[in-house]
């Protein structure tokens, strides 16, 4: 009964509260940008707070109900957990390592290469550009936000949803679980408007990684790095630019 109540509450949070609050917060942020109030640090901190609260509640309820952190995927990598063929595991590991290298390269290149930074920024849509950090203070907060999102979103959308769906629907296919968690992840980011397909695709990839690797920890790592890529994308205006 406890798990049913938790699942219903979490589901409402994912498909209703998160999307609505996302639209509301981004509207306020867009408005503040137009009025010249450009400090996004408070928004970043609020986002961290409201992602950690449900995460800690989920973890606490599961532990109180007798489940371990392994239930949320917080365990060692276990590629054989779902009995997938060896070549699938190898290709997935290869794609994971390749993507990690690609993300690290972009983080370094954007940080130190002005031309690379400019080219990357030109390809960022307006739906996302307005939310990126500009000042040094914002960039410090963004790094914390990236780590926070990597941990909390993976625990909620991958670790918890996979656990809850399989617990409440024992005969459900793991691939249906993947589809459901990916769609819910996309709904949670629907405030990104026409760019929402990107979180949806990311959700599919992250979920597939979780299935193959049997642990949410490597998914947390790649999710965090993916968010960190844009940390230094926008250069802080110099004082001479403001005169």
DSSP readout, 68-86? Answer: -GGGGT-S---TTTT---H
* Residue 240: predicted pLDDT: 46
Joined together, the tokens standing for residue 165 give 């769906």
N residues, the chain: 243
* pTM listed for this prediction: 0.92
Exposure on the CB side of residue 135, measured as CA atoms within 13 A: 11
Please enumerate in sequence order all residues whose Cβ is within 8 A of that of 190, keeping only pairs 6 or more positions apart, or say none. 19, 22, 23, 196
Q: Token match 């239930």: residue?
A: 71
Higher pLDDT, 64 or 32: 64
Query: Using 50, 70 and 90 to split pLDDT, how confident is the model at 195?
Result: confident
Q: How high is the mean pLDDT of the chain? A: 90
How far is residue 59's CA from residue 56's CA, in Å, rounded to a whole number? 5
How far is residue 189's CA from residue 196's CA, in Å, rounded to a whole number? 6
Judged against a pLDDT cut of 70, whether residue 2 lies above it is answered with yes
Of the listed ranges 29-33, 69-73, 86-90, 140-144, the one predicted with least confidence: 29-33
Q: How far is CA 110 from CA 119, 227, 230, in A?
A: 9, 13, 8
Question: Maximum Cα–Cα distance for the chain, whole Å?
Answer: 65
Q: Mind listing the pLDDT tens digit for each residue in 70-117?
A: 999 999 998 878 888 889 999 999 999 999 999 999 999 999 888 888
């Amino acid at each position: 009964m406890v798990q049913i109540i938790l699942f219903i509450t979490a589901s409402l949070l994912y498909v209703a509260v998160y999307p609505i609050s996302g639209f509301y917060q981004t509207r306020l942020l867009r408005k503040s940008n137009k009025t010249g109030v450009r400090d996004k640090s408070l928004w970043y901190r609020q986002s961290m707070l409201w992602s950690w609260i449900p995460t800690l509640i989920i973890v606490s309820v599961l532990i109180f109900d007798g489940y371990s952190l392994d239930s949320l995927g917080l365990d060692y990598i276990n590629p054989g957990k779902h009995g997938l063929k060896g070549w699938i595991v190898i290709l997935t590991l290869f794609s994971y390592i390749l993507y990690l290298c690609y993300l690290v390269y972009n983080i370094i290149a954007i940080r130190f290469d002005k031309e690379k930074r400019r080219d990357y920024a030109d390809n960022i849509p307006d739906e996302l550009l307005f939310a990126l950090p500009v000042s040094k203070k914002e960039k410090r907060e963004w790094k914390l936000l990236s780590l926070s999102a990597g941990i909390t979103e993976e625990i909620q959308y991958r670790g918890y949803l996979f656990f809850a769906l399989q617990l409440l629907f024992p005969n459900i296919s793991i691939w249906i679980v993947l589809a459901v968690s990916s769609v819910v992840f996309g709904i949670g980011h629907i405030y990104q408007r026409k760019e929402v397909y990107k979180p949806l695709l990311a959700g599919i990839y992250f979920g597939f990684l979780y299935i193959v690797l049997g642990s949410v920890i490597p998914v947390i790592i790649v999710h965090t790095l993916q968010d960190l890529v844009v940390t230094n994308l926008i250069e802080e205006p110099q004082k001479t630019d403001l005169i």
